[in-house]
Amino acid sequence: MDTVIVPRALDLEPRFVWALEYDVDYSGDWRRFFEQFAASDADLLTSTITSRQETPRWRHWRTASSPAPRRDDYRAFHPVMRLSRRLLETYVARIGKPGWEGHYEYILPTLAVAAGLTLEDLGGTSRFCPPERKGRNYRNTPADRKLAPGTFVWRPAMPFYFHERPGLFPEPDMLHHPVKPAVTNWETIGRWRRWWRGFRTGRFAGVPALLRGL
């Protein structure tokens, strides 16, 4: 996603650019959310900022590499983030050089740390979160593969937006992700994908013969 977001953000003139995925919602007034960050000069504002040491089981570490020391490897969760022009220009100057590989949830926070830029968490419990925002704006479980339980997770999806069913959002002024109305249940899709991979790679050796016999 960084290869899509960064060029588009660079086309804009403001010092800071917010990027929000369509399946993000907020159980409150969005103006109150954005007002919290008006005085922040952080180059990258995002969520769930943790180090490799704190979350060693994160699935994307296996593809992550950079010229930075391994102790400075970080990952985050970017359905909502704010990027500074300084970070965008640093990205262009550095990422094209050999050695940078991996998911953009790894690339952006690790680049910020490696370049000496400022990194802040939107809320939660990260050590990158200022005291006044601790425990605010979202909840999740960084050590869990799905970031669950919490309000701002990878799975499961919520079927309605806040304005449609406010009763489904008991915690006020919190970010929610993913919100996917009228979308096939992701867990069901995931099971079929795993089954199909097993079928193609021969893990389910008896299935092809069984299907041919039908």
- Condensed to tens digits (0 to 9), the pLDDT of residues 25-75 reads 999 999 999 999 999 999 999 999 999 999 999 999 999 999 999 999 999
What pLDDT does 182 receive?
Answer: 79
HSE-CB of 97 using CA atoms within 13 angstroms: 9
Label the pairing between strands 175-176 and 119-121: unpaired
Whether 186 has a pLDDT exceeding 70, the answer reads: no
Burial class (CB within 10 angstroms; exposed 0-12, middle 13-18, buried 19+) of 180 = middle
- Condensed to tens digits (0 to 9), the pLDDT of residues 105-163 reads 999 999 999 999 999 999 999 999 999 999 999 999 999 999 999 999 999 999 999 99
pTM of the model: 0.86
Label the pairing between strands 74-84 and 25-26: unpaired
As given in the structure block, the two tokens for residue 18 are: 């917010």
d(CA 98, CA 67) in angstroms, rounded, equals 8
d(CA 191, CA 196) in angstroms, rounded, equals 9
Give the count of beta carbons closer than 10 Å to the beta carbon of residue 123: 24
| Confidence bin at 212 (pLDDT 50/70/90) | very low
User: For residue 65, which amino acid is it?
Assistant: S
